[in-house]
Amino acid sequence: MTLSDQFHSLPMLLKVRQVADFTGTHERTVRRWIRDGRLGAVEHPSGLRVPRRALWRFLGLDLALSA
C-alpha cells in the first residue's frame, strides 16, 4: 500500500485513539501534541478530531503527497 493509498484510506477526521494507533503511541501523547500546538485538531461534538491532513503534516509526509 502506498502512502497515498494509506492517506486516502483514513477518515477525514480521526479520533485521538485512531491517531494513537496509527502512530504507535498512547492517547495521552497525542493529546499532549495537540495541547502543545504540534498537531492540529478541531473540536467536534463528540470530542477532539484530528484532520488527516494535519496528521500527515505532523508526520512530515505532506510533501510526499504533493510530489
pTM (predicted TM-score): 0.85
CATH 1.10.10 matches 3-66: yes
Which of 48, 60, 58, 61 lies closest to 18 in space, CA to CA? 48
- Residues 14-66 have pLDDT tens digits of 999 999 999 999 999 999 999 999 999 999 999 999 999 999 999 988 766 65
Domain boundaries, the chain: 3-66
Q: Can you give the pLDDT at residue 65? A: 61
- Residue 7 — very low, low, confident or very high, per pLDDT cuts 50/70/90? confident
Instruction: Please check whether residue 66 is in contact with residue 27, taking contact to mean a CB–CB distance below 8 angstroms.
Output: no
Q: Is the pLDDT of residue 67 over 60?
A: no
